Amino acid sequence: MILWIAFAVVAAAAIAVLARPLLAEQHGMTASAQEADLAVYRDQLAEIDADRDRGLIDAAEAESARTELARRLLQRSEQSDDAAQSVAALPKFPSPATIAYATAATVPILAIAIYLALGSPSMPGMPQSARLHQSPEQAGVEELVAKVEAQLRETPEDGRGWDAIAPVYLRLRRFGDASKAFSQSIRLLGETPRRLRGFAESTVLANNGIVIEPARLAYQQILTNEPGDHEARFWLSMADEQEGMLEAADKGYRAVLADAPEDAPWKSVVEARIASIAAQRTAETSGSDRPASQKPAGGQNPADGDASTQPVPPAASDAKPPGPTSEDIAAARELSKDDQQAFINAMVERLADKLEKDPDDFDGWLRLVRAYSVLGRRDDADRALVSARKSAEGNSDRNARLDALASELGLGI
């Protein structure tokens, strides 16, 4: 409403100004063309005198210029404007007053009509600051997120901001942002189980269910803090499965299932994984070398459940372990590298410290070698591999696993 009043006021003011000359009494004396011309000539005459006084032109030049001007002046003063105008005048109809009224009627109608066709009168202005300062009840989640984001751009070292926004990102399914936010809050405020869990979960989800190294390290940490944690154990087994260590994965899944509460809703998921592994191993032992068809990693395939109870038809089985190809993993790692670099480094350093104190943790060494390799720190990976060999001394199974790892990662030793 206020908008329309404002429109009306502006339009009325404009019309009043436009119509005023039209509604005036008969127009008085104004500068006619003739008088204007004569004024110019008089000015020019004065200039000639001034120029002569300044010495810009000499007396003879001044005289000839004056003569020329005087001639023009006389000519013009005898020539009335109407005679000079070569076009015949149009009739003076309609009268100025009529034009004034017509203007008052048509200008607002025309303006409103065009405006209605183009404008959005019902739409309020939405400056960014006003949107960000809306009360939380009015603001949508997106506005609130944008508000926190704007703050974080100003103060990127504000850990609480990252801590607050991270779970929201997770809920909004912005997994990549969530992973980054959790890692920032861990870096700035320290580890808590909630942050670690959030980081691990969002990182896995951001990578389409692939448990990449930072997530794996995070779950490892959760498990250190809370031994027996089902979620962490499940995802670590998933990581094993994705690495192709089916036996370890199967053992892990079964262990999770063994002490799962009776009514846990995720039990069926774990069972499905176990069934899937069984199917894979069947396929492996049957020596099928048909081309592999890929399955979504970590995805739950209802068909998997049947596979454990029925003989697996070769056509439906996978010749290779399920989950991503090594290219997928590499790509996922590449993607997350930038965001999670700081976090990964911290985790890796912690692991390295731990192994220095407890060099007999063979699995720890394996993880460290893999982590260094993923981070592109080849020298460190080689060194870790040497240490791992020490802890594997005399154990042929461990040595074989190290050889496999070294060849997989392309390490020298």
273, 237 contact by CB (below 8 A):
yes
Q: Which range in 30-38, 211-219, 353-361, 398-406 contacts another protein by CB under 8 A? A: 30-38
Close Cβ partners of 221 (under 8 Å, ≥ 6 residues apart): 191, 196, 347, 350
**Nearest residue (CB) to another protein, 106 versus 325:** 106
Q: Which of 135, 137, 138, 153 binds another protein (CB under 8 A)?
A: 153
**Nearest residue (CB) to another protein, 60 versus 258:** 60
Q: What are phi and psi of 280, to 5 degrees?
A: -60, -45
Asked if 121 interacts with another protein (CB under 8 A), we say yes
253, 237 contact by CB (below 8 A):
yes
Asked if 357 interacts with another protein (CB under 8 A), we say no
- Sequence length of the chain is 413
| Contact letters for another protein, residues 244-263 (x by CB under 8 A) | --------------------
Q: To the nearest whole angstrom, how small is the minimum distance from the Cβ of residue 27 to another protein?
A: 4
**Nearest residue (CB) to another protein, 68 versus 358:** 68
Close Cβ partners of 186 (under 8 Å, ≥ 6 residues apart): 195, 196, 199, 343
Q: Which of 63, 98, 110, 173 binds another protein (CB under 8 A)?
A: 110
For residue 315, the 8-state DSSP code is G
Close Cβ partners of 19 (under 8 Å, ≥ 6 residues apart): 100, 103, 104
Asked if 287 interacts with another protein (CB under 8 A), we say no
Q: Which of 45, 188, 331, 409 binds another protein (CB under 8 A)?
A: 45
Asked if 92 interacts with another protein (CB under 8 A), we say yes
Q: Which range in 19-27, 289-297, 370-378, 394-402 contacts another protein by CB under 8 A? A: 19-27
The tokens describing 300, both together, are: 């739950």
Asked if 64 interacts with another protein (CB under 8 A), we say yes
Q: To the nearest whole angstrom, how small is the minimum distance from the Cβ of residue 168 to another protein?
A: 14
Asked if 9 interacts with another protein (CB under 8 A), we say no
The tokens describing 325, both together, are: 């190809």
Close Cβ partners of 303 (under 8 Å, ≥ 6 residues apart): 316
Asked if 141 interacts with another protein (CB under 8 A), we say no
Task: Identify the CA nearest to 230 among candidates 257, 193, 263.
Answer: 257
Q: Which of 63, 133, 141, 142 binds another protein (CB under 8 A)?
A: 142
**Nearest residue (CB) to another protein, 18 versus 255:** 18
For residue 314, the 8-state DSSP code is G
Task: Identify the CA nearest to 214 among candidates 248, 249, 189, 187.
Answer: 187
With 0-12 CB in 10 A as exposed, 13-18 as middle and 19+ as buried, what is 362?
Answer: middle
**Nearest residue (CB) to another protein, 34 versus 208:** 34
**Nearest residue (CB) to another protein, 154 versus 397:** 154
Question: Site size for another protein, by CB under 8 A?
Answer: 85
**Nearest residue (CB) to another protein, 31 versus 258:** 31
Q: To the nearest whole angstrom, how small is the minimum distance from the Cβ of residue 374 to another protein?
A: 23
